[in-house]
Structure 1
Amino acid sequence: MILGFFWVLLAAIMLGFYAFPSKYIKRYEVANLWGSFWLFAMFIVPVLASFILVNGLGDTYAQVPSSVFVSVFFLSLLWGIGNLLWGISISKIGMALGFSLLIGVATLVGSMIPFFMGNMEQLQTPGGMVIVLGILIIMGGIILNGKAGLLRESNESITSDSSSSKNMKTGIIMCIVGGICAAGFNLSYHVADNIGHIGAISQEQFGNAPWIARLAVMLPSFIGSGVVTVLYFVYQLSKSKSWNKFASIASTKNIVLIAIMAIIYVASLIIYGLGAYNLGPLGTSVGFAVFQTGCIMVANLLGVFSGEWTNAGGKSKRFLYSGLLAMTGGIIVIAYGNFIS
Structure 2
Amino acid sequence: MIEGIVWAVFAGITLGLYALPEKFARGFAFENTWGLMFFLNMFVVPPIAALLLIDGFGNILSAIPTDILLKMAVASLLWGIGVMMWGKAINYIGLSLGFSIFIGTVILVGSLLPFLVDAAPDSKVLLTILLGILIVLVGVIANGRAGMLRQAGEAKTPETRSMGTGITIAVVGGLMATGFSYANAVGRPVIHELTQMQGNPEWVTAVAVMFVIYVAGGLFVIPYFLYQLSQKGLWDNYKTPFLTKNIGLTFLMALLNFVASAAFAFAAFKLGTAGNTVGYAIFNTVCVAVAIVSGLLTGEWAAASPGARRFLYVGLAAMITGVVVIALGNGLSMGT
Preserved contact between residue 79 and residue 183 of structure 1 (Cα < 8 Å): yes
Preserved contact between residue 96 and residue 149 of structure 1 (Cα < 8 Å): no
1: CA distance, partners of 2:123 / 2:149: 39
Residue 270 of structure 1 and its aligned partner are, at CA, apart by: 0.9
Corresponding residue pairs, total = 333
Question: Quick one: which of 177, 180, 189 aligns to 2:172?
Answer: 177
Gaps of 5+ in 2: none
Q: In structure 1, what is the equivalent of residue 259 of structure 2? A: 267
1: CA distance, partners of 2:170 / 2:186: 25
Aligned to 1:210, the other structure's residue is in SS state coil
Aligned to 1:338, the other structure's residue is in SS state helix
* Equivalent AA in structure 2 for residue 48 of structure 1: I
2: CA distance, partners of 1:28 / 1:98: 20
Q: In structure 1, what is the equivalent of residue 244 of structure 2? A: 252
RMSD of aligned alpha carbons: 2.3
* Equivalent AA in structure 1 for residue 147 of structure 2: G
State yes or no: 1:234 paired with 2:226: yes
Question: Quick one: which of 176, 200, 209 aligns to 2:193?
Answer: 200
* Equivalent AA in structure 1 for residue 180 of structure 2: F
1: CA distance, partners of 2:64 / 2:269: 19
Q: In structure 2, what is the equivalent of residue 105 of structure 1? A: 105
TM-score, normalised to structure 2, is: 0.91
Residue 319 of structure 1 and its aligned partner are, at CA, apart by: 1.8
Q: In structure 2, what is the equivalent of residue 5 of structure 1? A: 5
Preserved contact between residue 79 and residue 178 of structure 2 (Cα < 8 Å): yes
Gaps of 5+ in 1: none
2: CA distance, partners of 1:270 / 1:200: 17
Residue 311 of structure 1 and its aligned partner are, at CA, apart by: 2.7
Residue 99 of structure 1 and its aligned partner are, at CA, apart by: 2.8
1: CA distance, partners of 2:243 / 2:224: 21
Preserved contact between residue 141 and residue 322 of structure 1 (Cα < 8 Å): yes
- 1:170-221 CA-to-partner distances (Å, cap 9, x unmatched) read 4443332211101111211111114xx2123212x11212222211112111
Alignment of 1:1-341 (within 5 A): 1-120=1-120, 122=121, 124-157=122-155, 167-194=162-189, 197-203=190-196, 205-341=197-333
2: CA distance, partners of 1:28 / 1:213: 36
Residue 90 of structure 1 and its aligned partner are, at CA, apart by: 4.3
2: CA distance, partners of 1:164 / 1:266: 32
2: CA distance, partners of 1:14 / 1:89: 19
TM-score, normalised to structure 1, is: 0.90
2: CA distance, partners of 1:248 / 1:300: 30
Preserved contact between residue 95 and residue 292 of structure 2 (Cα < 8 Å): no
2: CA distance, partners of 1:11 / 1:225: 20
Preserved contact between residue 97 and residue 150 of structure 1 (Cα < 8 Å): no
Residue 94 of structure 1 and its aligned partner are, at CA, apart by: 4.8
Change (3 A) 1:266 1:316: same
Preserved contact between residue 149 and residue 316 of structure 1 (Cα < 8 Å): yes
1: CA distance, partners of 2:255 / 2:54: 17
Change (3 A) 1:114 1:49: same
2: CA distance, partners of 1:184 / 1:119: 18
Change (3 A) 1:156 1:253: closer
2: CA distance, partners of 1:153 / 1:24: 23
2: CA distance, partners of 1:280 / 1:78: 26
1: CA distance, partners of 2:192 / 2:256: 22
Change (3 A) 1:9 1:238: same
Preserved contact between residue 81 and residue 178 of structure 1 (Cα < 8 Å): yes
